[in-house]
């Protein structure tokens, strides 16, 4: 690298750090918080938070099922209109981060697929799915965590834990946030117990959904549009005894969800795309159903007790949002529940989704303050519509 290039690189680093410091200061002032002085903050060792937690999962049966489902889904997806293609804010993520897993899945390479998934929390295949900055690899995974980056990470983590405690009225213990270590996770420690990053968010919404549908008769059916890597699905199956969890997502994300939930719940009956008919009968028969996004068209009408989306709708094109909203409203008999951006969207903002009509009424809208520990200008709101 030339001297000029090194100087330019250093100037960029100085600018980035200046902006980070300013944002960290703004977040602290906005929170009016003493989190950095708390024991939970001080007692966290960043090296320990990001220590490798590899779990070996070489199960050729699981990997083969995932690869087969993925390739069947991709074959069909190619024939469908733009609403079911990768687009808008997700396109650059796919172009810049997904190449390794796409190649492994396309070439039916079980070894590479499993190797990537064993480390998915630190791989490109999960970028955009765990809610953390795209710069995690540069700032945290290289073994050199700066004091500033560490402070930013811990402030966000401890804030989210405290927010979870507040929202749940302290009725749960830190152990209730346990998630299996598949994917080589990182997180933080509370009273020397490891909390996987994002677990508090997944647990809260799983318990909230459980409360909303507890009065419904028979087997509960919860549909999620965009299940990430399966965090909400994991907790829904943990907190609701008799539930079918149905996830619709882009084929690449669908495959990752399948990996996590199939390893977490080997005893459960899980349906992947192309293995059986997807219909009303299968929804009653399976515990977990993981489908590509376009299969939402085949979701039986009025079958879901609740449909849920977290963030991703506002990141889609207008055409895609309108398609999904139409199908999800058709499919649910009771609740449409979502958390989305009200300002930071390149297409429709959450208030413009068009969910409310003669059948669905807005029951509540309130700030979803989960990201307030990292962004004082967060714009996410939580919406509940019910029939």
Q: Is residue 111 assigned to a domain?
A: no
Residues 305-342: tens digit of each pLDDT: 999 999 999 999 999 999 999 999 999 999 999 999 99
What is each CA distance from 348 to 54, 219, 314, 322, in whole angstroms? Answer: 40, 34, 6, 9
Q: Is residue 290 assigned to a domain?
A: yes
Q: Is residue 39 assigned to a domain?
A: no
Q: CB–CB of 124/98 below 8 Å?
A: yes
Q: Is residue 267 assigned to a domain?
A: yes
Each residue's pLDDT expressed in tens, for the chain with a length of 387 residues: 678 777 777 777 778 888 889 999 999 999 987 999 999 999 999 999 999 999 999 889 999 999 999 999 999 999 999 999 999 889 999 999 999 999 999 999 999 999 999 999 999 999 988 877 778 888 899 878 999 999 999 999 999 999 999 999 999 999 999 999 999 999 999 999 999 999 999 999 999 999 999 999 899 999 999 999 999 999 999 999 999 999 999 999 999 999 999 999 999 999 999 999 999 999 999 999 999 999 999 999 999 999 999 999 999 999 999 999 999 999 999 999 999 999 988 899 999 999 999 999 999 999 999 999 999 999 999 999 999
Residues 333-381: tens digit of each pLDDT: 999 999 999 998 889 999 999 999 999 999 999 999 999 999 999 999 9
d(CA 325, CA 62): 32
Domain range for 3 is: 1-32
Q: What CATH number is attached to the domain comprising 298?
A: 3.40.50.150
Domain count, the chain: 2
What does the pLDDT read at residue 190?
97
Q: Is residue 381 assigned to a domain?
A: yes
* Residue 174 neighbours by CB distance under 10 Å: 18
Strand 304-310 with 332-341, pairing: parallel
Q: Is residue 272 assigned to a domain?
A: yes
Q: Is residue 148 assigned to a domain?
A: no
pTM, entire model: 0.95
Q: Is residue 14 assigned to a domain?
A: yes
């Amino acid at each position: 690298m030339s001297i000029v290039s090194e100087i330019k690189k250093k100037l960029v680093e100085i600018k980035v750090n200046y902006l980070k410091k300013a944002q960290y200061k703004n977040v602290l002032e906005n929170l009016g918080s003493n989190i950095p002085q708390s024991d939970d903050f001080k007692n966290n060792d960043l090296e320990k938070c990001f220590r490798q937690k590899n779990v070996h999962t070489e199960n050729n049966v699981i990997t083969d099922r995932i690869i087969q489902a993925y390739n069947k889904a991709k074959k069909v997806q190619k024939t469908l209109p733009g609403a079911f293609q990768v687009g808008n804010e997700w396109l650059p993520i796919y172009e810049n981060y997904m190449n390794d897993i796409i190649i492994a899945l396309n070439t039916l390479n079980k070894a590479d697929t499993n190797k990537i998934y064993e480390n998915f929390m630190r791989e490109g295949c999960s970028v955009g799915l765990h809610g953390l900055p795209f710069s995690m690899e540069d700032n945290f995974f290289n073994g050199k965590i700066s004091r500033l980056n560490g402070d930013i990470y811990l402030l966000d983590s401890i804030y989210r834990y405290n927010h979870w405690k507040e929202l749940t009225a302290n009725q749960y213990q830190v152990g209730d946030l346990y998630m299996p270590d598949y994917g080589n996770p990182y997180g933080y420690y509370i009273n020397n117990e490891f909390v996987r990053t994002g677990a508090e968010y997944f647990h809260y919404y799983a318990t909230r959904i459980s409360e909303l549908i507890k009065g419904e008769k028979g087997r509960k059916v919860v549909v999620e549009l965009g299940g990430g890597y399966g965090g909400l699905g994991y907790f829904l199956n943990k907190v609701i005894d008799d539930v079918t969890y149905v996830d619709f997502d882009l084929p690449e994300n669908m495959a990752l969800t399948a990996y996590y939930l199939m390893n977490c719940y080997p005893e459960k009956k899980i349906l992947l795309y192309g293995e059986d008919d997807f219909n009303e009968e299968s929804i009653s028969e399976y515990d977990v159903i993981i489908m590509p996004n376009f299969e939402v068209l085949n979701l039986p009408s009025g079958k879901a007790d609740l449909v849920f989306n977290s963030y991703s709708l506002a990141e889609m094109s207008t055409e895609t949002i309108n398609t999904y909203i139409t199908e999800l409203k058709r499919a649910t008999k009771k609740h449409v529940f979502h958390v989305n951006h009200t300002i930071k969207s390149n297409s429709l903002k959450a208030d413009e989704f068009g969910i409310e009509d003669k059948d669905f009424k807005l029951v509540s809208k309130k700030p979803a303050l989960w990201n307030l520990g990292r962004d004082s200008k967060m714009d996410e709101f939580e919406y509940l519509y019910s029939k």
